């Protein structure tokens, strides 16, 4: 099962040119950007590691791409995503979030079923990646 987090998650992976176009769109809307990475992309893991600080002062998508590429280089076997924040409502709200790197191979998840009382059935997701220690979850690369 492929990780489907964020905008564009059901589309083929974006090229660097397409990523740059999305960064330009976010910056044109006045949305500051940040880069995050993780090796545990469980849907409930919403707190990824932040690469540097949010880029409140950048106006050029090329500067953001430099940070994206630096994060990709430092963590070649991790998921990397870009977040865009919209503060128009008086609070930092995520306006756009999308993956810019996936590890290869991507082991995915399994769905565990548990029968409970009163004929209830509970489902949980289990990431195959967490069966290995952090930093060694995605072999290769």
3-state SS string for the chain: CCCCCECCCCCCCCCHHHHHHHHHHHHHCCCCEEEEEECCCCCCCCCCEEEEEEECCCCCHHHHHHHHHHHHHHCCCCEEEEEEEECCCCCCEEEEEEEEECCCCCCCEEEEEEECHHHCEEEEEEEHHHHCCCCCCCCCC
Lowest-confidence region among 13-22, 36-45, 48-57, 61-70: 36-45
Domains within the chain, CATH numbers bracketed = 16-106 (3.30.190.10)
- Read off the pLDDT of residues 90-119 as tens digits, 9 standing for 90 and up: 777 889 999 999 887 776 777 788 888 888
Q: State the sign of the Cα–Cα–Cα–Cα dihedral 97, 100, 103, 107.
A: positive
Lowest-confidence region among 2-6, 7-11, 36-40, 122-126: 2-6
Give the pLDDT score at 39: 84
């Amino acid at each position: 099962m492929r990780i489907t987090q964020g905008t564009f998650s059901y589309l083929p992976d974006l090229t660097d040119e397409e990523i740059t176009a999305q960064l330009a769109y976010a910056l044109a809307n006045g949305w500051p950007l940040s880069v995050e990475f993780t090796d545990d992309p469980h849907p409930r893991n919403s707190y990824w590691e932040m690469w540097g600080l949010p880029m409140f002062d950048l106006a050029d998508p090329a500067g953001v791409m430099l940070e994206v590429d630096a994060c990709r280089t430092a963590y070649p076997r991790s998921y990397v995503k870009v977040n865009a924040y919209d503060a128009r409502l008086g609070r930092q709200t995520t306006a756009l979030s999308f993956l810019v790197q996936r590890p290869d191979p991507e082991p995915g998840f399994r769905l565990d079923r548990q029968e409970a009382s009163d004929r209830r059935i509970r489902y949980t997701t289990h990431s195959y990646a967490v069966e290995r220690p952090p930093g060694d979850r995605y072999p290769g690369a």
